[in-house]
Structure 1
Amino acid sequence: MAERRSGNRLAALDGLRLLAALMVVFYHYVALARPWGHATDTIFPTAHQLAQYGWLGVEVFFLISGFVICMSVWGRTVGEFAVSRLSRLFPAYWAGILLTTVVVKTWPEFASLRGWNKVITNLTMLQGGNDTPDVDPVYWTLFVELKFYLIMAVVMLFGITYRNCLILCGVWTAAAALAPVLKTPLISEFAMPQYAPFFIAGIAFHLMRRHGANAILWAIVILQLLLAQRYIGDRLAVNLGAAAAQSLPTWPARFVIVAAFALIGAMALGLFDRIQWKWLTTAGALTYPLYLIHMNIGMTLIHHFRDTLPAPFLVASVTALMLATAWLVHRLIERPLGRWLRTIMRRGIDDIRHHVAPRRRNARHPAPQTPTAPPQATQNDRTPQHSRTFESA
């Protein structure tokens, strides 16, 4: 199947990424009662109603991730993919841990950190796999992303092709649909039933962009859209409590999910290709560090100044401060440290290739063996014995 479009960066996708991050910020700062000391429906009577659904920005992130990661693995080796992801994720993440730790240790009025074991383990980004608490609660999504990367790396071993991506979509859909019934921890952990529909739909949307839309891809997308509805109630309960999940309408959440699918679908079809505003690319670059630093730091500031500053001004000021800090993290830490990590990791991969390649060549083509002199013929030999020649394999 011929490729229709290249995987060039989409400015509109960067804009949607920032919008998703701001949805999560809005949810944490306006919907949650904890930094304010009481329910926020009296502080933000109207905004509170919208902010209650801001957690859906995470689902939008996963949808975007399915699209972007499928695009980024095309034509790459597993090593190249690992270098790309690790150099992209860790610099801002380490900065986020450092900043959050400093703020929480200095002003432990909203959150607290006891000892350093949790901080040290969090530096690996694997704390979700060994039941270590996150330094900042938003980090839970990073372990979900890492599992998705591992799934894509396995597919890469078989080759990233249109056919293999379709097989992945089918196998993953079946595993996610059956995981709640099978109740097998390993399958549930990697099938991720609550979030799989967004990743899988993102993959299908990228296949549309790369190879063109067809009935199979649209069927995958529609199926994932339907499956995504199954866990809306569960996600409401996790983010707002069981009582709120029973009383709140679910249609706004369904609307947000449908709108996100529609927007990514429009991008896959090229309807936003003309949007090339440079500021959107910059805005997209702020998304990851903003997400990493906004919660415990921002909510500590809200908690500290809630009695001295008007609530709307406080939320706007903290959000602006987090955006400015995210820009500094991106420019001063993420970009230079990311380049340095890419350089040293590529050198490491080159060293491995340099040592492994000769061994593989020697295994395929062993050195010619020196022929030995044939044994002398005896009187009992019926035929004369000739010398043997050796040929390398």
Structure 2
Amino acid sequence: MAAHGLRGLAAMMVLLAHILGGTAKHIYAQNDAYVQGIAGAWALGTFGVELFFIISGYVILPSAMRYGAQQFALRRFLRLYPLFFVLSLLFIVLNAITNAYPALNSTKAVISGLLFINLFTGTEQLTPNAWSLTYEVIFYLLMYGIVYFTVHHRNRAGAAVAILVGLSFLLTHPIAIYFVIGAAIRLASARPWRWPIPARGLELASLIAMIAFASRGHFEYSWSDFADPVLVPIILSAGLYFHCAVQPGSLTARALDNPLFRYLGTVSYSLYLVHPYSYYGIRRIFD
């Protein structure tokens, strides 16, 4: 399945971005040629997080529709929290010793991070790259709330409230659009599409466009960022590419159908959480 291989690819993209970005910021900051030379790859690598969000939207929707609330919550908890908790404790201990991130040594930051409420308390998530997990958890809750009232227990009032809450979160955190894109692609995949150009040609064209646009810079996805003419094309090309990639027989499915990417897809979550410790080591080697 292309989505599985893309998950592993996205994890490697983020790892590469942190290696390049870390060396550019902390070691070779005075070397303009290096900093400018890796800028595109650095920006493209950080886009792996947005790719993760699309994949989550794509795979979580059918899970929410299939399972009851208790089973869905248990499956998501066991998939996400145990490893996150262990590595968060490791970070808390190391940060208490080194004080590398003073703002994260407070009780408020620690509790908010462990409970995934840091977006609402104004603190950072624990460990440098775990910020995206808060978005994941909130998406799980919002998605299941909408599915619960529209599929499992049809209730117009409940569905309206769930949708309004979801829209309000999207309006305050526009980066969540990638989850919506993934879910929309899952719904669209239920019916065949006929494109005016060959599907593989469209897949290749949208992939090239996504790489070209996503390499132009890193965005925080505040509403002011949408004034940049590159941001909307990034979103559109990413959605079109992923839609093409998950079709049977796609170029992406064929390229990623090998033991390496099947393995990376399987360990992608572990790799994503562990890799900060890896790139700190690699940074020392560069230094």
Q: TM-score scaled to structure 1, two decimals? A: 0.53
CA pair 116-130 structure 1, distance change in 2 beyond 3 A: closer
Distance (whole Å) between structure 2 residues aligned to residue 60 and residue 48 of structure 1: 19
Distance (whole Å) between structure 2 residues aligned to residue 40 and residue 258 of structure 1: 34
The residue aligned with 1:301 is 281
Out of 121, 127, 149, the position equivalent to 1:130 is 121
The residue aligned with 1:261 is 239
Question: Larger radius of gyration, structure 1 or 2?
Answer: 1
Cα deviation 1:103-127 (Å, max 9, x = unaligned): 445555x545535553344222223
Distance (whole Å) between structure 2 residues aligned to residue 74 and residue 84 of structure 1: 13
Deviates more, 1:140-149 or 1:23-32: 23-32
Distance (whole Å) between structure 2 residues aligned to residue 88 and residue 53 of structure 1: 27
The residue aligned with 1:46 is 37
Are 2:122 and 1:143 aligned?
Answer: no
Are 2:261 and 1:287 aligned?
Answer: no
Are 2:76 and 1:85 aligned?
Answer: yes
Distance (whole Å) between structure 1 residues aligned to residue 170 and residue 73 of structure 2: 19
CA pair 276-301 structure 1, distance change in 2 beyond 3 A: closer
Distance (whole Å) between structure 1 residues aligned to residue 117 and residue 219 of structure 2: 26
Q: For residue 242 of structure 2, what is the amino acid of its counterpart?
A: I
Higher relative contact order (CA 8 A, sep 6+): 2
Distance (whole Å) between structure 1 residues aligned to residue 105 and residue 173 of structure 2: 33
CA pair 204-134 structure 1, distance change in 2 beyond 3 A: closer
Q: For residue 31 of structure 1, what is the amino acid of its counterpart?
A: G
The residue aligned with 1:350 is none
Alignment of 1:201-280 (within 5 A): 201-209=181-189, 211-213=190-192, 236=218, 238=220, 257=235, 260-272=238-250, 276-280=257-261
Q: For residue 236 of structure 1, what is the amino acid of its counterpart?
A: H
Cα deviation 1:361-392 (Å, max 9, x = unaligned): xxxxxxxxxxxxxxxxxxxxxxxxxxxxxxxx
The residue aligned with 1:362 is none
Contact (CA 8 Å) 2:19, 2:283: kept in 1 or not? no
Cα deviation 1:52-93 (Å, max 9, x = unaligned): 332211211111111011121222111111111111110121
Deviates more, 1:269-278 or 1:89-98: 269-278
Distance (whole Å) between structure 2 residues aligned to residue 303 and residue 265 of structure 1: 36
Contact (CA 8 Å) 2:28, 2:35: kept in 1 or not? no
The number of residue pairs the alignment matches comes to 253
Percent identity for Structure 1 against Structure 2: 26
CA pair 55-279 structure 1, distance change in 2 beyond 3 A: closer
CA pair 281-158 structure 1, distance change in 2 beyond 3 A: same
Contact (CA 8 Å) 1:41, 1:48: kept in 2 or not? no
Q: For residue 288 of structure 1, what is the amino acid of its counterpart?
A: Y
- In the TM superposition, residue 102 of structure 1 has moved relative to its aligned partner by 4.3
Distance (whole Å) between structure 1 residues aligned to residue 71 and residue 139 of structure 2: 16
The residue aligned with 1:19 is 9
CA pair 262-60 structure 1, distance change in 2 beyond 3 A: same
Q: For residue 195 of structure 1, what is the amino acid of its counterpart?
A: I
The residue aligned with 1:328 is none
* Stretches of structure 1 lacking an aligned partner (at least 5 in a row): 1-9, 177-186, 216-224, 308-393
Structure 1 counterpart SS, 2:249: coil
Structure 1 counterpart SS, 2:136: helix
- In the TM superposition, residue 257 of structure 1 has moved relative to its aligned partner by 4.5
Distance (whole Å) between structure 1 residues aligned to residue 71 and residue 176 of structure 2: 24
Q: For residue 285 of structure 1, what is the amino acid of its counterpart?
A: T
Q: CA RMSD in A?
A: 3.9
Cα deviation 1:325-382 (Å, max 9, x = unaligned): xxxxxxxxxxxxxxxxxxxxxxxxxxxxxxxxxxxxxxxxxxxxxxxxxxxxxxxxxx
- In the TM superposition, residue 24 of structure 1 has moved relative to its aligned partner by 1.9
The residue aligned with 1:36 is 27
Distance (whole Å) between structure 2 residues aligned to residue 60 and residue 14 of structure 1: 12
CA pair 213-44 structure 1, distance change in 2 beyond 3 A: same
CA pair 285-59 structure 1, distance change in 2 beyond 3 A: same
CA pair 105-34 structure 1, distance change in 2 beyond 3 A: farther
Contact (CA 8 Å) 1:20, 1:58: kept in 2 or not? yes
Cα deviation 1:218-274 (Å, max 9, x = unaligned): xxxxxxx9xx9xxx8xx83549xx9xx8xxx965x7776555324421244323467
